[in-house]
Chains A and B, each alone.
Chain A
């Protein structure tokens, strides 16, 4: 079983300083200008334990010190390296473009937490189920509350997001993915802007003591990889 960690620029000499999962040596499959870094295992595919995901991440971060990297999703395996080589050739140009996109960049993550609003837009909702009218009125009140909360989250997201977007090449975000999380975002930041980005986050923390701001990274560019497989075809067991 071949376990893949990342796609990177073509190089032939695998690192001996970093080992893969279960301390297996790393190998490189080259196809034109791109390469896949992998390790070979006899056992079944690894489970996503804390140790395994950290080792997966360590391999990628080690590669990032010298190469542009597209991190592979955890659990990307092949029966043999022949299949891997074929896929690299199939997706060569798209992978090469993806590497160019992320070269010189790192990913920074932002997660903002707040206390969800408990104030209803038009006062307490009537108990549902007593009459059809009461039920619909309660549903409408709930929907109005939801929309008010959505707008509140979007205003906060725009306020916190704008200065960080200015320091990034790209950004992806989700607003109000959960009631407690008004903003989750990932930023593709040029390495030269890293310190300025962190200072800006610190400024936002001071400016908005009513919310909690968690900034993590630098990460490999997990959110900024090219799509290769139709999402409908992704096979999760």
Chain B
């Protein structure tokens, strides 16, 4: 988990939300050209474990944005 730095305190809540959304895409979506996708199940599970970080970041992100969404 430390490799993905999901809980990096230096990262802003908006950046954490964006990173989680990015991980959700690059690790689980996209073209699979062959069976050789070199990821461990544990690496993919980190995205969903990170959802709690996402939830805790929502309030902070909303305060920063004034309640507005938009591309992160």
A75 to B68 alpha-carbon distance, docked (Å): 34
Decide: B39 and A48 in contact? CB cutoff 8 A: yes
Q: Kindly state whether residue A235 has any CB partner on chain B within 8 Å.
A: yes
A120 to B27 alpha-carbon distance, docked (Å): 36
Number of B interface residues, CB 8 Å?
43
Q: Kindly state whether residue B12 has any CB partner on chain A within 8 Å.
A: no
Decide: A228 and B38 in contact? CB cutoff 8 A: no
Known: A47-B43, A205-B67, A213-B69. A7 touches B31 (CB 8 A): yes
Decide: B69 and A214 in contact? CB cutoff 8 A: yes
Known: A111-B21, A201-B69, A202-B68. A236 touches B39 (CB 8 A): yes
* CB of A220, distance to nearest CB on chain B (Å): 8
Decide: B51 and A235 in contact? CB cutoff 8 A: no
- Of B21, B38, B44, most A-chain CB atoms within 10 Å: B38
Decide: B3 and A48 in contact? CB cutoff 8 A: yes
- Of B5, B31, B68, most A-chain CB atoms within 10 Å: B31
Q: Kindly state whether residue A49 has any CB partner on chain B within 8 Å.
A: yes
Decide: B41 and A48 in contact? CB cutoff 8 A: no
Contact among B21, B30, B48 for A73, CB-based, below 8 A: B30
| Chain B positions within 8 Å of A235 at CB level | 35-37
Q: Kindly state whether residue B23 has any CB partner on chain A within 8 Å.
A: yes
Q: Which of A76-84, A124-132, A135-143, A146-154 contacts B (4 or more CB under 8 A)?
A: A76-84
Number of A interface residues, CB 8 Å?
59
| Chain B positions within 8 Å of A53 at CB level | 4, 19, 22-23, 26-27
Known: A215-B69, A216-B72. A50 touches B8 (CB 8 A): yes
| Chain B positions within 8 Å of A84 at CB level | 33
Q: Kindly state whether residue A103 has any CB partner on chain B within 8 Å.
A: no
* CB of A52, distance to nearest CB on chain B (Å): 9
User: What mask results when residues 221 to 237 of chain A are scored 1 for a CB within 8 Å of chain B, else 0?
Assistant: 01101111100011111
Decide: A228 and B67 in contact? CB cutoff 8 A: no
Beyond A76-B30, A228-B33, list 11 extra A-B contacts (CB 8 Å). A6-B31, A71-B25, A71-B31, A73-B31, A201-B69, A214-B58, A216-B21, A222-B30, A234-B37, A236-B41, A237-B38
17 cross-chain CB contacts under 8 A: A48-B23, A49-B4, A54-B19, A71-B26, A72-B33, A73-B27, A73-B31, A78-B34, A113-B55, A212-B58, A212-B62, A214-B17, A214-B21, A214-B72, A216-B21, A235-B36, A235-B37
